[in-house]
């Protein structure tokens, strides 16, 4: 029986296995963790954001690759938001689009979708082996397993081992030296969709855990109106992640504490007499939020002495950051297998018959459904190409 091997049981690997299923073909999915798709399940704890309800062109524009490669392309065209919707409903999972355009299962959680998906794969003959850690090449694909060392010699292989973020969930990038030794070009990993460290003054301790709403972060041409959180270590949350890449890459960032007001309107508010109010209470009367007041007092020094100055500071408050948080706290990672190391079908040029998918590849995208959709798309494309090779 023809053996097709998939290493990695996350969304990209499971999608590749689905594409490889066929009568007379043995599809084996191995994973180093005790259970499959651990990062997928973790992402779904607060609501599984599968994709976006937006046109394909706008969606694709959010996925960046060094050479402009289209990582949504598959045999049947782009695997974009509508394709994800159809795929999930084919598993019996009803979806809905929220007011922000994010698409979720009606039940919000990842586990029902994963159970249905694994059941379909098992029914198609796919075998899942847990606690199999890939340790190298040489005579085949070598693994440390609960039963000792095993070597498999598949006709085709799809690698879907993830990037380097959230290593405790399995994406620990231990595959990098194996592929580098085989001659595969790999870009160093960097955190993506991450928070930033801030050296807060003691006065900010009362705001640790406070949400920041109704503001806009600007970094170059990128603007984010999403919510974020003040933490003891810095700032985190979707509103920060959306502009994390340009900030990480050196772009100066500012936050507009009143994006729905123009400068003149905000200056008129700051022109209100302070009277006997403390500075904090006066600012809360104007900005209507303790978190915004705290940020203005923290990052706005020296404090202005005029209404015009207060308005200018509040409309373009510099983010005083101490650098990005590390890969262990990043939602995803940038870097990985360089595009020049891949054919158009995601086959490794240095290892014929071996394909790669998901966050192993050198692309990045913001959270909000873009990451997961692209992992599914690349897994499908790699699986289809591997099936054609067979």
**CATH code, 14:** 3.50.50.60
Residues 147 and 222 in one domain: no
Task: Decide which of 255, 290, 318 is a domain's last residue.
Answer: 318
Tell me the residue range of the domain where 24 lies: 2-191+328-389
Residues 98 and 127 in one domain: yes
- Asked, as a colleague might, if the bond just before 162 is cis with ω within 30 of 0, I would say no
Please report whether residue 130 resides in a domain: yes
Q: How many distinct structural domains can be found in the chain?
A: 2
As a three-state string, the secondary structure of 250-290 is CCCEEEECCCCCCHHHHHHHHCCCCCCCCHHHHHHHHHCCH
Please report whether residue 116 resides in a domain: yes
Please report whether residue 50 resides in a domain: yes
Contact (Cβ atoms closer than 8 angstroms) between residue 239 and residue 253: no
Q: Is the pTM of this model over 0.85?
A: yes
Residues 217 and 365 in one domain: no
Residues 64 and 106 in one domain: yes
Please report whether residue 323 resides in a domain: no
Residues 208 and 355 in one domain: no
Residues 57 and 124 in one domain: yes
Which DSSP state fits 304?
P
Task: Decide which of 257, 292, 318 is a domain's last residue.
Answer: 318
Task: Decide which of 259, 290, 318 is a domain's last residue.
Answer: 318
Q: Is 140 left (phi over 0), alpha (psi -120 to 50) or beta?
A: left
Angle between helices 81-90 and 370-389 (to 10 degrees): 70
Residues 173 and 59 in one domain: yes
pLDDT tens track of the chain, all 390 residues? Answer: 789 999 999 999 999 999 999 998 999 999 999 999 998 888 877 789 999 999 999 999 999 887 788 999 998 889 999 999 999 999 999 999 998 899 999 989 999 999 999 999 999 999 999 999 999 998 899 999 999 999 999 999 999 999 998 888 888 999 999 999 999 999 999 999 999 999 999 999 999 999 999 999 999 989 999 999 999 999 999 999 999 999 999 999 999 999 999 999 999 999 988 888 999 999 999 999 999 999 999 999 999 989 999 999 999 999 999 999 999 889 999 999 999 999 999 999 999 999 999 999 999 998 889 999 999 999 999 999 999 999
Residues 169 and 299 in one domain: no
Residues 187 and 203 in one domain: no
Residues 244 and 374 in one domain: no
């Amino acid at each position: 029986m023809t053996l097709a091997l998939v290493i990695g049981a996350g969304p990209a690997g499971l999608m590749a296995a689905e594409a490889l299923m066929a009568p007379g073909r043995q599809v084996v999915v191995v994973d180093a963790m005790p259970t499959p798709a651990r990062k997928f399940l973790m992402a779904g704890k607060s609501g599984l954001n599968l994709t976006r309800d937006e046109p394909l062109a706008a969606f694709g524009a959010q996925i960046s690759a060094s050479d402009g490669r289209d990582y949504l392309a598959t045999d049947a065209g782009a695997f974009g938001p509508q394709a994800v919707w159809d795929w999930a409903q084919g598993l019996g999972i009803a979806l809905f689009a929220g007011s922000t355009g994010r698409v979720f299962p009606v039940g919000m959680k990842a586990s029902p979708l994963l159970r249905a998906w694994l059941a379909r794969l098992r029914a198609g003959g796919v075998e899942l082996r847990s606690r199999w850690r890939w340790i190298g090449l040489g005579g085949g694909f070598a693994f440390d397993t609960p039963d000792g060392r095993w070597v498999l010699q598949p006709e085709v292989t799809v690698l879907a081992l993830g990037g380097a973020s959230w290593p405790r969930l399995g994406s620990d990038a231990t595959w990098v030296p194996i592929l580098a030794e085989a001659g595969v070009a790999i870009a160093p990993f960097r955190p993506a969709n991450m928070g930033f460290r801030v050296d807060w003054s003691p006065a900010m301790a009362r705001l640790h855990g406070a949400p920041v709403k109704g503001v806009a972060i600007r970094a170059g041409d990128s603007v984010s109106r999403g919510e974020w959180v003040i933490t003891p270590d810095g700032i985190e949350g979707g509103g920060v992640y959306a502009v994390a890449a340009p900030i990480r890459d050196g772009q100066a960032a500012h936050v507009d504490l009143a994006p729905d007001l123009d400068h003149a309107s905000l200056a008129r508010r700051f022109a209100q007499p302070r009277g006997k109010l403390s500075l904090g209470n006066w600012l809360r009367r104007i900005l209507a939020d303790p978190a915004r007041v705290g940020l203005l007092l923290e990052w706005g020094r020296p404090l202005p002495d005029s209404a015009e100055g207060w308005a200018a500071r509040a409309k373009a408050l510099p983010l005083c950051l101490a650098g990005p948080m590390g890969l262990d706290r990043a939602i995803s990672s940038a870097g990985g297998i360089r595009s020049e190391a891949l054919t158009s079908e995601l086959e490794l040029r240095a290892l014929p018959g071996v394909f790669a998918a998901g966050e192993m590849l050198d692309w990045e995208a913001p959270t909000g459904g873009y990451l997961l959709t692209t992992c599914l798309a690349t897994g499908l494309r790699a699986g289809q190409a591997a099936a054609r090779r067979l």
